[in-house]
Amino acid sequence: MTIIGIDILTFLIAAPAVGAVALLMLPSQMKGLVRFAALGISIVIAAISIVVFFAYNSMNTGAYGMVVDLPWFELIGVGWHLGIDGISAAMVLLTGILTPLAILVSFEIDDRVNMHMALILFFATGSFGVFAAMDLMIFFLFYELTLVPMYFIINQWGSVDGREYASKKFFIYSLGGSLGMLLAIQLIGWSVSTVPAEIVATLSETTPALLSYVAGSPSFDIGVITALWPALTTQIGGVFLGVDIQTVKTLAFLGFFIAFCIKVPVWPFHTWLPDAHSEAPTAGSMLLAGVMLKLGAYGFLRLVIPFFPDVWVGEIDILGAIQTNFATIFAVLAMLGVVLGAYSAFGQTDIKRLVAYSSVNHMGFVAMGLAVAALAYGQAYMTGSSVHIQDAILATNGAVLQMFNHGLSSAGMFLLAGGIYHKTHTRDMTQYGGFWVKAPILGGIFIFTSMASLGLPGLNGFVSEFLIVRGAWSVFTSLTVISMLGLLFTGGYILKGIRAVLHGPFNMHWKDHKLEIDLRELVAIAPLMALMLITGIAPNWILSVINASVSLMMGIPVQA
Amino acid sequence: MVETVSFPVLSLLIFIPIIAAVIILFLPREQKDLIKGIAVTAAFAVFVLGLFTFISYNNNHEMIRAAQDAIIAEGGESSATRMYDETLVFEERVVWVEALGITYHLGIDGLSAPMVLLTGMVTVTGVLMSWRIEDRTREFMAFFLLLVSGVFGVFVANDLFVLFFFYELAIFPMYLLIATWGWVKLREYAAMKLTLYILIGSVVALVGAIAMVLQANTFFVNDGAQIFANAVESGILPANSSELSFSITQLTLAAENGAFNLPFVGDISFANVWFPFIFLGFAVLAGVFPFHNWSPDGHVAAPTAVSMIHAGVLMKVGAYAALRVGIQLMPEGAHTHLPWIVFLTLINVVYGAFIAFRQRDFKYVIGFSSVSHMGLVSMGFATMNLVGMTGAGLQMFSHGAMTALFFGCVGMVYDRAHTRDIPSLGGFIKIMPWVGVAFIIGGLASMGMPGLSGFVAEFPIFQGMWEASPTTVLQIGSFSLTNYYAILVIIAALAIVITAAYVLRVTGQVFFGEFDRAKYPDVDDITLRERFILVFLGAPLILLGIYPSLIAPMLETGLRPVLALLGVAT
């Protein structure tokens, strides 16, 4: 598929960046022109991402589509290798939908409009790049690249008191966390060249990705690494770089694990998030919660699970008393994220911090689904036992759908919270109260979005949470049960938020303020609401696309 | 093959700045516009020539690569030297001092072509940056051009004497430029320290070089006579070669055939004795710990354009010479000594970053960051494989552009604010947004942000370290150490976070925050000329980051003969 002669995925990645540069050329005083130009560019990009999604849908396959493979940095075996499958198509769609909404919401920004809009578009470039990457270096490149626009959005347009601290913490935490991943990537890219040619030949019979790979050369192609890197343990084993291979694998795993745990975020690596989300401007929070967190979850699914099946299920002995494995540890952390995130959200008085902790809570469910997938995939790879595969397919479908749903609902919540903040200039919920009286439409939308976030049946949150719980039930029964406590408190904090903002006595301080939702904000949240409803009632429009690829992924070659 | 070129491009590169300098010195000192005009014309001329050689090499390197492959497949005698000979283009050769075997022999290969381009770029921006120097403009421009000519001479030299000649020619104007036009408080001390350090380093290397020439001479007269005769016959060496020669091609021939593996002191080979002297002698200019001490003060004391040349190009001259004369001509010495020299480079990378973090003076931050990044270049050399050394070459180019950009930004702030004290600056991005954005781009490149050239350079260096880890052995007497490169690379990666931290800190403090108009009443935005400088230096950072294959393949082609000599298959 090509647009003006350039293949569609490269165009999708490059177009926001080119658009951003064009915006920067516009005269900065003509704010209206800049705003509508940015909106126009982002709508075009949204249209392209919708076309990409439905074009992929019509391919009726779970395999990669719209693949591009061009030489880029042959010295180290990196190619400009892009492609999407069902999982990435859903994420591309999410990014495409949220970008124009973020820009529309940013119309309220008055200071250096063109720079702000350009940064949003640069962020879109980075996100598209991560989701479409089929090469590990390209993945890493765009993954790190998204940090820069987000840092500046928070640092320059965030709330004056906390933005300096929040942005620096976010940037250094994320960058430092990904250092382990960078080292692991270098190690992996080089080490696939050490796999002997005979093993490559045997494996290429079952793995199409290896067909164009020359044995003995370094490569960062994700398909090649998925085939060869696990084989280093299972088929070669022994000593690597002077250290037992299992130790090397575990260290590389930890590099990836910690980097993505920080991003998702998984408890206890989540501490950057409440500050970053609450101090960011509205568009920043929407994109941070809506898209950026998904980069981490996507990384787990696309990279960590296929690369390290042996490490996920490898036995770990804690003080001789507890036998566990990384998949279970991950599930425990996920459960803690669900429960503690919900408790923390319940305790907040700052509306944006409440929504921020709700992200920790919801992404905990994603992590739970991913933990199930890791366990099942690892077991199937190492022992051939497919006892948990069906559960894993359910849980992974749920996790990916939850990524999509959470993107919609948290973007919606931040849109509303940001709108209220813009009108009242405070995030303190104790100052709100009784807004229903003056802003009934806002109230209705607020309740609708909160219910989607809560997981009310009929709206999208329910479908994904149900799938995850159903999938995790037989795999991590006790942890799932404990997570239900978290779900209870999810209801708690959502209802608390609604009560604090909308119900109770009207705070006379706001007597003369305009509290009702603007037309612009209404237009921005309408697509999100529509999608939340449609996905809740008829989720198959997206679930079938996701399922095709998830099933393909879980039907992995079994290790004899 | 030495073909005489109809158009002596490389000699022009060297002589255009010299002739321009001489012309300028004869002009009356009041004619500042004419002086500056001639200087900038010469600068653009060498830039265009450098770009021309770069593009020519780029267009031809596939062909050269194929020729190299053919030589590898064929094997045979002196194959690495033949590869090296194939790699050199635009060769010029004139016999100079026949009795001593000195020839005026120039040539450019895949490693020196990007360096020549970089030098051209930094020359143009350096001259433009110095546009407002009012005090003895004539002398400044003349010495600056002499310096540039010396740098070009080293990069294109294919004769050791020519290399040293131009190496020294580059050092002496540095002293004058820093001592006369530098920062009053520090200039004399810094200029003297810089000159003494670099001169002593180069003297040590010179002694080693002369020893090499004599050793090769003995070899060719005795055991290697047949090899010498074969080489002359097959055309690798010109017909009028003598056994005593400073020619790098001839010395490569000697090295490949074991001239420097012969015992020198007891049973320690010549290469093992002399390599540390030559490598570290040149590495002084590359800023390798513990001989880096001249560099921070030198950077700070120098006027902006001189800092740009110093950090951007001159330090690369040292690294280049260390590679060309040290590693290429004494590969056995490289195998023995680089495994411990790598520890020095690690100290550069990490320690340099930590020290940069502590600085209050804007220029000292950049100066120590240069020390840190040049450590990466030397670390890339220590990997002794194609990936790592290409990364080192990429880092030389990327860091050159980046640090010239940094010093340009610092200069633009300092020219207006008249202070470099970070805590007293602030909010400058509101006044000079272009400088702020350029500094941010440079800063992101410096911390290795993917999408910019710094990442494209650092990644292969680290990759090369991983790759070298299983096979590199440090042998001291009976003590041997293997598989430690992996640990070194993990420690070096720490520097990335420290770099990120100090870049963010400095950017935030200098460019963001509140601008104190009362303290800086006449600070204004930069001129078109200065914007040109920023774009000119910033564009390569982005272009190389997006498309590393602009330079990487050329570097690989240039490095393959060196790796063949090191005994590494490519």
* The predicted structure's pLDDT at residue A293: 95
Question: Across all residues in chain A, what is the average pLDDT?
Answer: 90
What b/e string do you get for B351-375 counting C-beta neighbours within 10 Å, with b at 16 or more?
bbbebbbebeebbbbbbbbbbbbbb
pLDDT tens-digit series, residues B202-230? 999 999 999 999 999 999 888 888 888 88
Searching chain B, which residue's CA lies closest to the CA of residue A111? B430
* The predicted structure's pLDDT at residue B203: 93
Distance, CA of A399 to CA of A397 (rounded, Å): 5
Structure tokens at A134: 């089929």
Q: Mutating which of B390, B467, B509 best tests the A interface, going by the most A Cβ atoms within 10 A?
A: B467
Q: Which residues of B touch A164 (CB under 8 A)?
A: 508
* The predicted structure's pLDDT at residue B39: 94
CA distance A96 to chain B (A): 22
Distance, CA of A303 to CA of A143 (rounded, Å): 13
CA distance A128 to chain B (A): 14
Give the least confident one: B74-83, B286-295, B348-357, B376-385: B74-83
* The predicted structure's pLDDT at residue A314: 86
Q: Is residue A79 part of a domain?
A: no
| Side chain identity, residue A204 | S
Query: Residue B230 CA to chain centroid, in angstroms?
Result: 34
Nearest CB to A176: which of B451, B462, B497?
B497
Structure tokens at B233: 């016959």
The DSSP output letter for A557 is: P
* The predicted structure's pLDDT at residue A237: 67
Q: Which residues of A touch B508 (CB under 8 A)?
A: 155, 164, 168
Q: Which residues of B touch A148 (CB under 8 A)?
A: 444, 449
Q: Which residues pair with A322 in a beta bridge?
A: A318
Distance, CA of B423 to CA of B509 (rounded, Å): 7
* The predicted structure's pLDDT at residue A556: 54
Q: Which residues of B touch A182 (CB under 8 A)?
A: 462, 493, 496
Q: Mutating which of B383, B447, B459 best tests the A interface, going by the most A Cβ atoms within 10 A?
A: B459
pLDDT tens-digit series, residues A128-184? 999 999 999 999 999 999 999 999 999 999 988 889 899 989 998 998 888 889 989
- Per domain, the residue ranges of chain B are 9-566
Structure tokens at B452: 């910019």
pLDDT tens-digit series, residues B146-176? 999 999 999 999 999 999 999 999 998 999 9
Average pLDDT of span B279-293: 92
Q: Are B504 and A171 an interchain contact pair (Cβ–Cβ within 8 Å)?
A: yes
Nearest CA to B376 out of B500, B481, B464 is that of B464
Nearest CB to A75: which of B387, B462, B501?
B387
User: Judging by DSSP bridges, how do beta strands A316-318 and B473-476 pair with one another?
Assistant: unpaired
Structure tokens at B301: 């004391």
Q: Are A183 and B512 an interchain contact pair (Cβ–Cβ within 8 Å)?
A: no
* The predicted structure's pLDDT at residue A285: 94
Peptide bond into B290 cis (omega under 30): yes
- How many Å from the N-terminal Cα to the C-terminal Cα in chain A? 39
Domain that holds residue A520: 308-554
* The predicted structure's pLDDT at residue A329: 93
Residues of chain A with pLDDT under 70: 235-239, 556-560
What is the Cα Rg of chain A in Å? Answer: 23
Total structural domains within chain A: 1
Q: Is residue A16 part of a domain?
A: no
Distance, CA of A239 to CA of A248 (rounded, Å): 9
Searching chain B, which residue's CA lies closest to the CA of residue A242? B483
Nearest CA to B49 out of B137, B128, B155, B187 is that of B155
Q: Are A75 and B459 an interchain contact pair (Cβ–Cβ within 8 Å)?
A: no
Q: Which of the pair, A240 or B332, is modelled with greater confidence?
A: B332
Q: How many CB pairs under 8 A join A and B?
A: 96
User: Judging by DSSP bridges, how do beta strands A78-84 and A239-240 pair with one another?
Assistant: unpaired
Average pLDDT of span B307-324: 94
Average pLDDT of span B91-115: 89
- pTM (2 d.p.): 0.89
Angle CA B531–B532–B536, to nearest 5? 120
CA distance B80 to chain A (A): 21
Nearest CA to B363 out of B153, B178, B154, B172 is that of B178
Q: Are B493 and A145 an interchain contact pair (Cβ–Cβ within 8 Å)?
A: no
What b/e string do you get for A321-333 counting C-beta neighbours within 10 Å, with b at 16 or more?
eeeebbbbebbbb
Q: Which residues of A touch B385 (CB under 8 A)?
A: none
**pLDDT above 90 for B308:** yes
Nearest CB to A183: which of B390, B493, B504?
B493
Q: Which residues pair with A3 in a beta bridge?
A: A6
Distance, CA of B46 to CA of B42 (rounded, Å): 6
Q: Are A168 and B386 an interchain contact pair (Cβ–Cβ within 8 Å)?
A: no
Distance, CA of B96 to CA of B105 (rounded, Å): 9
Q: Are B463 and A76 an interchain contact pair (Cβ–Cβ within 8 Å)?
A: yes
Average pLDDT of span B543-554: 92
Q: Which residues of A touch B451 (CB under 8 A)?
A: 141-142, 144-145
Q: Which residues of B touch A142 (CB under 8 A)?
A: 450-451
Searching chain A, which residue's CA lies closest to the CA of residue B455? A141
CA distance B119 to chain A (A): 24
Q: Which residues of A touch B501 (CB under 8 A)?
A: 172
Contact A170, A146 (CB under 8 A): no
Searching chain A, which residue's CA lies closest to the CA of residue B508? A164
Task: Report chain A residues touching chain B, CB-CB < 8 A.
Answer: 71-76, 137, 140-145, 148, 155-156, 164, 168, 171-172, 175-176, 179, 182-183, 186-187, 189-191, 193, 218, 241-243
* The predicted structure's pLDDT at residue B458: 93
Structure tokens at A239: 């000593």
CA distances from B430 to A111, B71, B437, B482, B510 (A): 12, 59, 11, 53, 11
Q: Are B470 and A242 an interchain contact pair (Cβ–Cβ within 8 Å)?
A: yes
- How many Å from the N-terminal Cα to the C-terminal Cα in chain B? 22
Searching chain B, which residue's CA lies closest to the CA of residue A145? B450
CA distances from A26 to A114, A121, B83, B436 (A): 8, 15, 52, 19
Nearest CB to A183: which of B490, B501, B549?
B490
Q: Are A73 and B552 an interchain contact pair (Cβ–Cβ within 8 Å)?
A: yes
Q: Which residues of B touch A137 (CB under 8 A)?
A: 459
CA distance B497 to chain A (A): 6
Which pLDDT band, with edges at 50, 70 and 90, does B5 fall under?
low
Question: Across all residues in chain B, what is the average pLDDT?
Answer: 90
* The predicted structure's pLDDT at residue B1: 44
Task: Report chain B residues touching chain A, CB-CB < 8 A.
Answer: 386-387, 390, 444, 447, 449-451, 455-456, 459-460, 462-463, 466-467, 469-470, 482-483, 486, 489-490, 493-494, 496-497, 500-501, 504, 508, 512, 547-549, 552-553, 556
